[in-house]
Amino acid sequence: MSSENSYFITTPIFYVNDVPHIGHAYTEVAADVLARWNRQNGKDAWMLTGTDEHGQKILRTSVANGVSPQEWADKLVTESWKPLLDTISIKNDDFIRTTEPRHETAVQKFLELLRDKGYIYSGEYEGYYCVGCEEYKQPGDLLEGGDDFPGEKVCAIHTRPIEILKESNYFFRMSDFQQQLLDLYESQPDFIQPESVRNEILSFVRRGLDDLSISRSSFDWGVKIPWDDSHVVYVWFEALLNYITASGWGADDESFEARWPAIHIVGKDIARFHAVIWPAMLMAAGITPPRRVFGHGWLLVGGEKMSKSKLTGIAPHQITDVFGADAFRYYFMRAINFGQDGSFSWEDLSARYQAELANGFGNLASRTVAMVSRYFDGVIPAATEMNEADTVIVDTVRDAFTQANAAIEKLAIHEAIASVWRIVDALNGYITEQEPWALAKDDANRDRLSTVLYTAVEGLRAITVGLSPIMPGATQKLWQALGAPEALGELEDQQMSRAGDWGQIPAGVTVSALDALFPRIEE
Ligand code: MSP
């Protein structure tokens, strides 16, 4: 069984038919923030991401580009998908590609197991298929083609014609698992989040489940069905297995047992695969279902779901080239309630960068460090007697972390940031009211000035820790400038459960100059 301490978190594995856009980067950042935060809470956090490389969609793209699907996948993974992780400061522990032998071998093993248990049979499939979604469609999922495709049915998501499939396939007895799934949703109410996604899935499963066609014989870009190599495994059935093939199932059972079950962060459009098909597959194999499936909202651009196929796509580097990775991460995690849709606009990003990062946090950091340099030769002074204004800060810091830790527990990343930000706002107000520059004019106020600056520096210590999973770059610079590594150890080793305890940075530590954390952006 999974060790109590394991925190295994995943992103979907991304199709390599195209390059990444900010919707993909959004999922990556969310999973990375949760992994980093939990790692700083003493958890054995393990973040998995990767690429989904089989199926008809990739095959067709590669053919259109005149290369083999493997060449196409290799190119996209090396030139685009792996570099994305650096662009947005992702610290993943593993990256799985579905064309790797470790995956393919375990997929075949899983299929053999299900077949031995009697959950696979062969039959005829006749129905609709959308290659864009790589999904079998029900009539209710389709729209009329209208002027663009007169007389044809189109996929409601891709607004492109669907294909009619008639094949003999292997089927998975998914319909056997309806009751077990409903029991799972009931006994583990936070299994599917947020509530809106949970409700949708609940009513979907209550309507009854069909068996699932899990093989294709009209093309061969996939993992072969082990007992019939004229068929390849249906790409979704294969892709979902990445979560266990990457964590050692079937090869290193000890490490698998130690990590599993995982928390899956996915877009709400693919929550159904993760909360219905996937747990049913695992139940059939006798493996524990995932710990949670969280379906986040969509990034909207100009009111529409941002997507490459509709030309609203924005590449992550277009934003990080101007604003940097920290601002990218901060903006998407702060401005959008995790679980809801959110609109992206350059104006909003710019405004928040200026107001919250440059003027709010950045300015607090630079003026605090500068005042310690100016008034105390760079040596952090000791606090003497504390008055009520000071203890308000102490309380704010403590409460902020109580709330932030609780927010992360329920995956409410935006709430966690808002909690830490209360310290930023409180400290900015505190400094304005205490006027250290006025206190510095008279030696009689020296003790008071010491207390005020100690309070500011210690508050900043707490903010730096609290924001480190969100903005690893800027907080690392600030940690250095505060002289904290020597006094308190590495930033990434600071524990979130203790971060709200007052009085950690010792007096006597020397601060060093700090460049602007969020420089002015030229228009
Ligand atoms: N390959 C499958 C996932 C298999 S997981 C076993 C897939 N890949 S994808 O590349 O098309 O999409 C990956 C993720 O990106 C999905 O979670 C999807 O919701 C997310 N997004 C794609 N466009 C998005 C937005 N505009 N906004 C937010 N997330 C979006 O599906």
| pLDDT per position as a tens digit, 36-69 | 999 999 999 999 999 999 999 999 999 999 999 9
Of all protein residues, whose CA lies closest to atom 12 belonging to ligand 1? 14
Residue 24 known to be catalytic: yes
- The pLDDT score that the predictor gives to residue 398 is 98
Catalytic residue among 24, 57, 231, 274: 24
In a domain, 466, yes or no: yes
Distance CA 121, CA 171 (A): 5
The ligand 1 atom at the shortest distance from the C-alpha of residue 278 is 6
Of all protein residues, whose CA lies closest to atom 16 belonging to ligand 1? 267
In a domain, 150, yes or no: no
- The pLDDT score that the predictor gives to residue 3 is 77
How many domains does the chain divide into?
1
Of all protein residues, whose CA lies closest to atom 22 belonging to ligand 1? 23
Question: Which token pair is 291?
Answer: 């710990």
In a domain, 390, yes or no: yes
In a domain, 251, yes or no: no
310 pLDDT band, cuts 50/70/90, is low
- The pLDDT score that the predictor gives to residue 411 is 97
CA quadruple 319, 322, 326, 327: dihedral sign = negative
In a domain, 88, yes or no: no
Q: How far is the CA of 307 from the centre of ligand 1 (A)?
A: 10
Residue 130 known to be catalytic: yes
Q: Is 288 helix (H, G, I), strand (E, B) or coil?
A: coil
Is the pLDDT assigned to residue 401 strictly greater than 90?
Answer: yes
Of all protein residues, whose CA lies closest to atom 18 belonging to ligand 1? 267
Cβ neighbors of 194 (< 8 A, separation 6 or more) are: 294, 295, 339, 340
Query: pLDDT tens digits, residue range 205-235?
Result: 999 999 999 999 999 999 999 999 999 999 9
- The pLDDT score that the predictor gives to residue 158 is 85
User: Above pLDDT 90, what percent of the chain?
Assistant: 89
Is the pLDDT assigned to residue 414 strictly greater than 80?
Answer: yes
Query: What is the maximum alpha-carbon separation in the chain?
Result: 90
Q: How far is the CA of 323 from the centre of ligand 1 (A)?
A: 24
The ligand 1 atom at the shortest distance from the C-alpha of residue 14 is 10
Query: pLDDT tens digits, residue range 421-456?
Result: 999 999 999 999 999 999 999 999 999 999 999 999
Question: Which token pair is 126?
Answer: 């006749």
Output the average pLDDT for the chain.
Answer: 96
- The pLDDT score that the predictor gives to residue 139 is 84
- The pLDDT score that the predictor gives to residue 304 is 84
Distance CA 441, CA 111 (A): 77
Within 6 Å (CB) of ligand 1, which residues are found?
Answer: 12-15, 23-24, 26-27, 52, 239-240, 242, 266-267, 269-270, 298-299, 305-307
Preceding amide of 20 cis, omega within 30: no
- The pLDDT score that the predictor gives to residue 308 is 65
- The pLDDT score that the predictor gives to residue 309 is 62
Catalytic residue among 109, 224, 305, 410: 305
Beta-sheet pairing, 142-144 with 44-52: unpaired
CB atoms within 10 A of CB 314: 17
Pocket test for ligand 1, best of 9, 14, 76 (most atoms within 8 A of CB): 14
485 pLDDT band, cuts 50/70/90, is very high
Residue 462 belongs to a domain with what CATH number? Answer: 1.10.730.10
Q: How far is the CA of 228 from the centre of ligand 1 (A)?
A: 31
Catalytic residue among 155, 264, 317, 414: 155
Q: How far is the CA of 103 from the centre of ligand 1 (A)?
A: 20
Pocket test for ligand 1, best of 21, 270, 281, 344 (most atoms within 8 A of CB): 270
Full domain range(s) for residue 447: 346-493
Residue 158 known to be catalytic: yes
Residue 414 known to be catalytic: no
Is the pLDDT assigned to residue 191 strictly greater than 80?
Answer: yes
Range in 89-98, 266-275, 296-305 with the lowest mean pLDDT: 296-305
Q: How far is the CA of 24 from the centre of ligand 1 (A)?
A: 6
In a domain, 337, yes or no: no
The ligand 1 atom at the shortest distance from the C-alpha of residue 300 is 26
- The pLDDT score that the predictor gives to residue 278 is 98
Catalytic residue among 82, 91, 109, 158: 158
Q: What is the mean pLDDT of residues 11-35?
A: 97
In a domain, 464, yes or no: yes
Q: What's the per-residue H, E or C state across 174-204? A: HHHHHHHHHHHHHHCCCCEECHHHHHHHHHH
The ligand 1 atom at the shortest distance from the C-alpha of residue 240 is 6
Catalytic residue among 43, 54, 133, 317: 133
Q: How far is the CA of 376 from the centre of ligand 1 (A)?
A: 52
Strand order in 263-267's β-sheet?
Answer: 94-97, 44-52, 6-15, 263-267, 292-296, 192-193
CB atoms within 10 A of CB 422: 16
Q: How far is the CA of 269 from the centre of ligand 1 (A)?
A: 8
- The pLDDT score that the predictor gives to residue 193 is 97
CB atoms within 10 A of CB 305: 16
- The pLDDT score that the predictor gives to residue 522 is 79
Of all protein residues, whose CA lies closest to atom 8 belonging to ligand 1? 14
Q: How far is the CA of 292 from the centre of ligand 1 (A)?
A: 17
Is the pLDDT assigned to residue 311 strictly greater than 70?
Answer: no
Q: How far is the CA of 179 from the centre of ligand 1 (A)?
A: 28
Beta carbons of 52 and 291 less than 8 angstroms apart: no
Catalytic residue among 54, 57, 103, 130: 130
Distance CA 464, CA 482 (A): 10
Q: Say which residue the tokens 């319909």 belong to.
A: 175
Beta carbons of 369 and 513 less than 8 angstroms apart: yes
In a domain, 358, yes or no: yes
- The pLDDT score that the predictor gives to residue 176 is 98
Query: pLDDT tens digits, residue range 143-155?
Result: 998 888 988 889 9
